[in-house]
Amino acid sequence: MTLKRTALWCGAGLAALLGIAALTVALAVTLAVRQPELIRPYVQRALAPRGGSATLAGLSVTISPPTLAISGLVISGPPGEGELLRIDRLQAELIPARIFSGGPRLRHVEAKNIVFERLRPSESETPLDLTPLTRLFDIEDLSLTDARVRLAFPGGDLAAEGLNLSLIPGEGGIRALTGDGKLTLRSDGSVFAEGNLSARGKVTPDPAIEVSLELAAARLSVRGQDIGGLPLKGDLAFRSGSFSGNLNGDNLSAAALLSLAKVLSGRGLDGWSPSGTVSVAARIEPEKPGPRVTAKIKLEQIGFSSPPGDVMGGKLSGRLDLDCLLGPKPRMKADLVINQGEALWGTVYVNFMQNPLDLHAGGTRAATDEYKDLLIKGGLAGFGRLKLEGKARRAGGTWHHQGRLELGETGLGPVFKTFLKDPLAAGHPDLASLKMDGTVRMELSFSGKDKAVDLNGRLLLRSGTLLREGEPSVFSGLEIDLPISYSVGIADPGRSGPLLAAEWGRLSLKELRLGEEKIGPLDMPAVLVPNRLYLGGNIDASLFGAKLLLQRIQVDEPHSPNFRIHLAAKVDGLDLSKLSSKMEGRLGGVLDPVQIDSERVTATGDLTGELFGGKTNISRVTVARPFTPGREFGGDIKVDLVDMERLSAALSSGRVTGRISGSVEGLRISYGQPVAFHLKMESVPTKGMDQTVSVKAVNSISVVSTGSSLGGSGSSFMMGFFKDFPYSKIGFECGLKNDVFTVRGLIREDGVEYLVKRRLLGGINVVNGNPDNRIGFSDMVERAKRATGEKNK
Amino acid sequence: MQKPAHRFPFIVLAVLVVLTACVTVNIYFPAAKVEKTAEKIVDEVYQEKKDTPPAEQKGKPSSMIDGGLLGGLTRLAWLGPATAHAEDATTVSNAGIRALKEQIGQRHQELLPFYKQGQVGITKDGFLEVRITSGLGLPQVATLKRLVDADNAARRQLYEEVGKALNLQPDQISQVRQIFAKQWREKAQAGWPVQADDGKWSTK
């Protein structure tokens, strides 16, 4: 019984509430009909957005037919940032019978001079919301005239003016839709693009909307100058709560599209100067979980240049296919093929007709600042394929990323030619005639934060050969199987030590040619750990008659311009005659450590050995700029008790007997010529060895020191009687600096400077009559050639 | 006896004065020599002036033979007038500088058409810059850029070599560059793009 009573009371209460509500509505309608000005303030308040305002000039309601008419409605958002809606006049007639049944609820809607303005660019990342179009389902007969819409974009604003839209009822509840208007895109205060938009279609009771859109006579201009047309046609349909449609544009100007993108995005895209045309066929189709947008873009004769001019393209043709699945986790896929044209990146030139490019990219935006299934793969035909897959997410302002990088079998020849030889041959002529063969393959996993990346994987190089056209290979049979562990963008990666022996890779070389000499085969373990390349074991080879032993080879930061090579070198029995036919002797020694970087080679240690029957010592060996054509060799040389007879015979400069000791300090050689040195030599009396100098040798000294040979009948006379003159001492020093040779005698007696001092009872003096003499480099070269009998080339 | 309290600061001050005097470094920059060198190199590269043979050093013979017992014969063996060609002491040269000058000179001949078309210009720092590429196919642009890159590398090395030959400090190389830049631009032919010190480009 209690339950029945409770239900009774509830029913009575509900009836009372409904009655009150009905009375309120009836009162409101009565007031609206009879005294509309009384409810206008309430309507204004209800229409005013937060922080904004609404004003309504006129409001009228009629019962038969049930019609609402408003005039002078202005709704505006917060000052300076809101939206503005202004309606001069709007009249809508209600169909009460359809309030509780299907079909349009508004019989006739007439609106004039509607203005909608959005003064600030939308910050929303979602696509344009088209659901307001569904309001058309509720209207049987529509007449919208002279409407205006203005939307601000980052780089300008888009205005649709003189908009007219009508729905005319037809058979079977189908209403014909027509509309037109003028679209204008303004940027920097001037008209950037304008065109006439027209729409034809129908609204069906499904409910559905099908409409064909056409943007005609669309032109784009920059500062009054026409930069191309933008003719677009499309169809749009709304059915079962989903949109579908297509948009087509043929031969759209690339310059116009880029300008449009610049205006719409507000991003600085100045200076790219594109040319060529783009044809677009885009579709939007309903799919789960969101609409799918696909586009086939045909690129024709595209040209561009980056603002600094470091990246350029010309006559590029190909296609770009885009496939985006929108929704809460948008997925995107892009396939690019360029099979005509050419590109220049810095000094690297690629002809896509010879080496077409195909590139495929894709990924899913799993959440804000989180991307999954990222994939980039592709390559240039004839080069190799690159595949990069991974994921990235941002946390705490830092991007974390990880994935895999795979370089498929890649020909070293095209890579060497395109990225090394062609770009650098202008400054390194030696490269011009080089050719490389072989293949390389690499698999790496990566993980890191922002620009810091840890790489782990393996590099495989097969059959590497470098050869000069028409000559035997510089090296051949290079095989590398290198485990890689590398850190990029990390200041101190920790420098792990070499791995266990089983984890080392190998580097082998069949043959390396240095001039006429051959080294090889070589085979050694190799591994790259952060961030050092280790070559285990020793390189044990024969070179110029010497046994060459290279040990403890390590390369710090091998993939960086700041790489440093460390090693220890042992040379034993280097045959100097194999370096130069005029040299005689052997060298050996230990250079430890030898350090090599892009700027300099330095070696600690000496090379010692025999030189023309005496001894020699070479120290402070350096090479400046070792990897450039202008590399400069440096060092100090000491010689001790060199047999001058053998030396002078080698130089073909006459016969001198005896022994000499001295030094060459600060020797620098560049481009095959001495840059600077200071040479000091003095004869050393040696028991059992004569000290004589031939007339020819005196003549050579004369030629070198004065530029003149022994002239006149005197020398002929002397040569007729004497072949050799005894001497007590030879002493001289000469230097080269700033292309100027200076020669000084080291024997000074009674104010006279001798180069060669005769014996007490005979012989010949060679006197330096002009100690301040300065000899130009080219002149000295000429004199040396004359003294040694070498013919000018 | 207690020392006056003010003596310590005075000693410190005195030591500082002495130290300051000791560490005073007199930086010398041989502007005239660099300028002469730059002028000579630029002339030779541009080949506006033909190489003139170095002046012969006239005067007394540079050496002679004194024959001792054959004293009388020494006069017969008297070495004729010395023909040693002294290098110009006001300029700087060595094998590296000569080779670089030759490289730049050879490349200059390849760059000449580009200068004349206004496609490459001389910067205020003594280097080259690609100015415009209109009218050129991409392979030609690649060639031009490679030439300019190679030439700039050679110029950079040339300035360093000149500085090294004059025992200049690394931070003085910029002055060498500026002196060369002045010469490159002053001796440029009419119609070549040049960059003024304020960074503005014009056609000479």
Q: Which of A191-195, A421-425, A477-481, A534-538 has the lowest mean pLDDT?
A: A191-195
Residue B46 lies in a domain: yes
- Number of CB pairs, chain A paired with chain B, less than 8 A apart: 198
Instruction: Say yes or no for a CB contact (<8 Å) between A714 and B63.
Output: no
- How far is the alpha carbon of B196 from chain A, nearest alpha carbon, in Å? 19
Q: What percent of chain B has a predicted confidence (pLDDT) above 90? A: 56
Confidence of residue A457 (pLDDT cuts 50, 70, 90): very high
Instruction: Of A160, A165, A215, give the one whose Cα is nearest residue A184.
Output: A160
CB count within 10 Å of CB A373 equals 13
For residue B137, is it within any domain?
yes
A623, A693, A706, best to mutate vs chain B, most B CBs in 10 Å: A706
Taking CB atoms and an 8 Å limit, are B76 and A715 in contact across chains?
Answer: yes
- Spatial distance between the Cα atoms of A485 and A444, rounded to a whole number of angstroms: 9
Residues of chain B positioned with their CB less than 8 A from the CB of A758? 66, 68
Specify if B101 maps to a domain: yes
* Residue A707: predicted pLDDT: 73
Q: Which of the four pLDDT bands, split at 50, 70 and 90, describes residue B21?
A: very low
**CA-based torsion, A460, A462, A467, A473: positive or negative:** positive
In single-letter form, the type of residue at position A614 comes to: G
**Looking at chain B, which residue has its C-alpha nearest residue A736?**
B94
A688's tokens: 């059992």
Residues of A in contact with B96 (CB under 8 A): 630, 632, 670-671, 675
Q: Do B95 and A425 touch (CB under 8 A)?
A: no
Q: What is the mean pLDDT of residues A471-500?
A: 83
Question: For residue A196, what are its two tokens?
Answer: 């006439």
Between B70, B89, B153, which is nearest A427 by CB? Answer: B153
Q: Residues A216, A196: contact at Cβ < 8 Å? A: yes
Is residue B80 over pLDDT 60?
Answer: no
Interchain pair B65, A698: CB under 8 A = yes
Cβ-Cβ contacts under 8 Å, A768 against chain B: 62-63
Question: How far A574 CA lies from chain B's nearest CA (Å)?
Answer: 27
pLDDT at A430 over 90: no
Q: Taking residues A158-162, what's their average pLDDT? A: 89
Q: Is A668 exposed, middle or buried (0-12, 13-18, 19+ CB in 10 A)?
A: buried
For residue A358, give the nearest of A339, A341, A340, A337 by alpha carbon. A337
Residues 6+ apart with CB under 8 A from A656: A644, A645, A647, A648, A692, A693, A694, A697, A730
Q: Identify which of B85, B141, B165 has the shortest CB distance to residue A779.
A: B85
Which of chain A's residues have a Cβ under 8 Å away from the Cβ of B145?
344, 346-347
The pLDDT, as a whole number, for residue A65 is 81
Cα–Cα dist B150/B131, whole Å? 16
Using the predicted structure, report yes or no on whether residue B57 has a pLDDT greater than 60: no
Reply yes or no: is the peptide bond before residue A593 cis, omega within 30 of 0. Answer: yes
Average pLDDT over residues A552-561: 89
Question: CB distance A342–B138 less than 8 Å?
Answer: yes
Q: What's the domain range around B108?
A: 38-50+92-203
Count the domains in chain B: 1
A52 contacts A66 by C-beta, under 8 angstroms: no
Instruction: State the Rg of chain A over Cα.
Output: 45
Identify the CA nearest to A322 among candidates A363, A371, A277.
A363
Q: Which of A169, A134, A591, A768 is nearest to B61 (CA)?
A: A768
pLDDT classification of B64: cutoffs 50, 70, 90: very low
Could you say which of A676, A708, A712 has the minimum Cβ distance to residue B94?
A: A676
SS3 label, residue A689: coil
How high is the ipTM of this complex?
A: 0.77
Best of A755, A764, A766, A782 to disrupt the B interface by mutation (most B CBs within 10 Å)? Answer: A764
Q: What is the pLDDT of residue A722?
A: 64
Nearest to A671 among B75, B99, B165 (CB): B99
Please spell the DSSP secondary structure of A499-544, one letter per residue.
--GGG-EEEEESEEEETTEEE--EEEEEEEETTEEEE-S-EEEEET
CA distance B18 to chain A (A): 36
Mean pLDDT lowest among A201-210, A665-674, B154-163 = A201-210
Tokens read off for B93? 């040269």
Highest mean pLDDT among A168-172, A268-272, B11-15 belongs to: A168-172
Burial class (CB in 10 A: 0-12, 13-18, 19+), A344: buried
Nearest to B96 among A349, A423, A675 (CB): A675
Rounded to 10°, the helix A695-706/A712-721 angle is 150
Query: Cβ of B61 and A702 within 8 Å?
Result: no
Decide if B145 is inside a domain.
yes
Tokens of A438: 């072989």
Distance of CA A13 to the CA centre of its chain: 76
- What span, in angstroms and rounded, lies between the C-alpha atoms of A355 and A417? 13
The residues, any chain, with a CB within 8 Å of residue A34's CB and separated by 6 or more, are none
**Shortest alpha-carbon distance between residue A415 and chain B (Å):** 17
**Is the distance from CB of A320 to CB of A313 less than 8 angstroms?**
no
pLDDT band at B25 (very low <50, low <70, confident <90, very high): very low
Distance CA A490, CA A560 (A): 12
Lowest mean pLDDT, pick from A220-234, A339-353, A360-374, A670-684: A220-234
User: Which of A164, A135, A141, A144 is CA-nearest to residue A67?
Assistant: A141
SS3 A742: strand
Chain B: give the shortest CA distance to residue A791, in Å. Answer: 20
Identify the bridge partners of residue A734 per DSSP, sorted by sequence position. Answer: A679, A743
**Residue B13 in domain:** no
pLDDT of residue A3: 66
**pLDDT over 90 for what percent of chain A?**
43
Would you call A706 and B63 a contact, using CB atoms and an 8 Å cutoff? Answer: yes
Task: Name which of A152, A149, A224, A225 is nearest A182 in CA terms.
Answer: A149
**What are residue A133's phi and psi, to 5 degrees?**
-65, -25
Q: Tokens at residue A296, please?
A: 């086939």
Contact between B62 and A740 using a beta-carbon 8 Å cutoff: no
Residue of A nearest to B102 (CA): A671
Say whether A706 and B61 touch across the interface (CB within 8 A). yes
* Amino acid letter, residue A125: E
Which among A674, A738, A755 has CB closest to B165?
A738
Residue numbers in B near A427 (CB within 8 A):
146, 149-150, 153-154
Closest chain A C-alpha to B141 CA, distance in angstroms: 8
Instruction: Say yes or no to pLDDT of B79 above 60.
Output: no
Residues of A in contact with B168 (CB under 8 A): none
- B63–A766: do the CB atoms touch at under 8 Å? yes
Q: How many residues does chain B have?
A: 204
> Per-residue pLDDT tens for A287-312?
888 889 999 999 999 999 998 888 99
Which among A81, A77, A84 is positioned nearest to A48, based on CA atoms? Answer: A77
Are the beta carbons of B133 and A309 separated by less than 8 Å?
yes
Q: Say if the Cβ atoms of B61 and A770 lie within 8 Å.
A: yes
Shortest distance, CA B5 to any CA of chain A (angstroms): 51
CB contact under 8 A, B64 and A698: no
- A632 has pLDDT over 60: yes
pLDDT band, residue A241 (cuts 50/70/90):
confident
Asked if A774 contacts B57 with a C-beta cutoff of 8 angstroms, the reply is: yes
E-strand ranges in B15-126 read 63-66, 120-122
Contacts of A80 (CB under 8 A, 6+ apart): A119
Kind and range of the H or E run holding B68: none
B72 pLDDT higher than 90: no
pLDDT confidence tier of residue B78, bands split at 50, 70 and 90: very low
Q: Which residues of A touch B149 (CB under 8 A)?
A: 347, 423, 426-427
CB contact under 8 A, B64 and A767: yes
Among A313, A671, A776, the residue with its CB nearest the CB of B54 is: A776
Give the pLDDT band of residue A442 (cuts 50, 70, 90).
very high
Looking at residue A127, what is its pLDDT?
59
CA geometry: angle A583, A585, A586, nearest 5 deg: 125
- Which tens digits make up the pLDDT trace of A109-120? 999 999 988 877
Whether residue B71 is contained in a domain is answered as no
Beta bridge partners of A470: none
Lowest-confidence pick of A757-761, B169-173, B186-190? A757-761
CB contacts, 8 Å: B52 with chain A: none
Provide the token pair at A714.
């005197």
Using an 8 Å Cβ cutoff, are A434 and A471 in contact?
no
Q: Nearest CA to CA, how far is B8 from chain A (Å)? A: 46
Cβ contact (<8 Å) for A675 and B63? Answer: no
A396 to chain B, closest Cα gap in Å: 42
* Confidence (pLDDT) at A792: 44
Residue of chain B whose Cα is closest to the Cα of A754: B63
Residue A125: what pLDDT?
59
The C-alpha of A351 sits at a distance from chain B's nearest C-alpha, in angstroms, of 9
Both tokens of B201, joined, read: 């480009």
Residue A793 binned pLDDT confidence (cut-offs 50, 70, 90): very low
Q: Where are the alpha helices (DSSP H) in A673-741?
A: 695-706, 712-721
pLDDT above 80 (res B49) = no
Task: Encode burial over A164-173: b for 16+ CB neighbours within 10 A, e otherwise.
Answer: ebbbebeeee
Backbone angles phi, psi at A132, to 5 degrees: -55, -25
Q: Is residue B9 part of a domain?
A: no
Question: Would you put residue A646 in left (φ > 0), alpha (ψ -120 to 50) or beta?
Answer: alpha
pLDDT tens sequence across A676-735: 999 999 999 999 888 999 888 888 887 887 777 765 545 555 555 667 889 999 999 999
> How high does pLDDT run on average in chain A?
86
For residue B199, is it within any domain? yes
From B93's Cα to the closest Cα of chain A, the distance in A is: 5
What is the structure's pLDDT at B82?
32
Q: B95 vs A717: CB contact, 8 Å cut-off?
A: no
